[in-house]
Structure 1
């Protein structure tokens, strides 16, 4: 799950300090760190969730976003807990990547109605959470490709 995305993140580690202000305020390292923080924070929320609290509700924004398969740039604001620090070290990003790999493997063992509450998409079950993580990670990988002009 998200194996391709994690491999790409690993391949971009050597470009940690590269930036392009015309594309993004954040460097490649910023986008890598943020993506991994999201994967790990969302994974923890999913793991800790109680299936008894799951209550499926329709969400138009989620339906549209998940159907079109991408996030528009510059429209959402990240919660503080997933914002990268001022100084981003390759060691820290590698540790987060290792943790993300373990967390994503663990997610596959969870029950279908374990869930994560997103500020805009609201309650996401396991399958929807995995889709969100894939869309979110690919959103930032696209920005990285643009920064690197690849």
Structure 2
């Protein structure tokens, strides 16, 4: 059974934070971006999704079947190189450690807010459709894990 409690996200955020000191490492055979880009992008997604989710009106949530969500949420991973990050969550070329630290602080604050959020709070993903609380948590797990795996491969 997949754990869709917000607490499952804390170790993923802590792991992202643990790579800050390796932020400039890169391996072109894995990704054109460095570790800092992977961390920054993951945190941008985490914080933007959290903000949108927390600001939503739970009364407006409507569940609809989505084959892509069913496939990838069941498989438990996102394939690499198939989707490009939307502009709103793309990271700049140069990322300061202060920026990462600020985003981490916001992410941990958002994590605490997710714990008390309504079950039907939601956000709309451009591929997976409208996601309620358990689906949003699953998305954040999969997305963050996807980028942590890329970081691990860069550092190998």
- TM-score w.r.t. length of structure 2: 0.94
Mapping for residues 121-140 of structure 1, pairs under 5 Å: 121-140=128-147
Q: Cα RMSD over matched residues?
A: 0.6
Of residues 30, 33, 42, the one that matches 2:37 is 30
- Consecutive unaligned residues in structure 2, runs of 5 or more: 1-6
Q: Give SS of 1:58's match.
A: coil
Q: Give SS of 1:117's match.
A: strand
Please state how far the C-alpha of 1:103 moved relative to its aligned partner: 0.3
Q: For residue 4 of structure 1, what is the aligned residue in structure 2?
A: 11
Separation (CA, whole Å) in 2 of partners of 1:66 and 1:142 = 17
Matched, 1:87 2:94: yes
Separation (CA, whole Å) in 2 of partners of 1:132 and 1:39 = 10
Please state how far the C-alpha of 1:137 moved relative to its aligned partner: 0.1
Of residues 100, 104, 109, the one that matches 1:102 is 109
Separation (CA, whole Å) in 1 of partners of 2:115 and 2:82 = 30
Q: For residue 3 of structure 2, what is the aligned residue in structure 1?
A: none
Asked whether the 8 Å contact 2:10–2:111 carries over to 1, the reply is: no
Q: For residue 120 of structure 1, what is the aligned residue in structure 2?
A: 127
Separation (CA, whole Å) in 2 of partners of 1:5 and 1:47 = 20
Separation (CA, whole Å) in 1 of partners of 2:88 and 2:24 = 21
The alignment of Structure 1 onto Structure 2 pairs a total of residues equal to 149
Moved over 4 A (4+): none
Please state how far the C-alpha of 1:77 moved relative to its aligned partner: 1.3
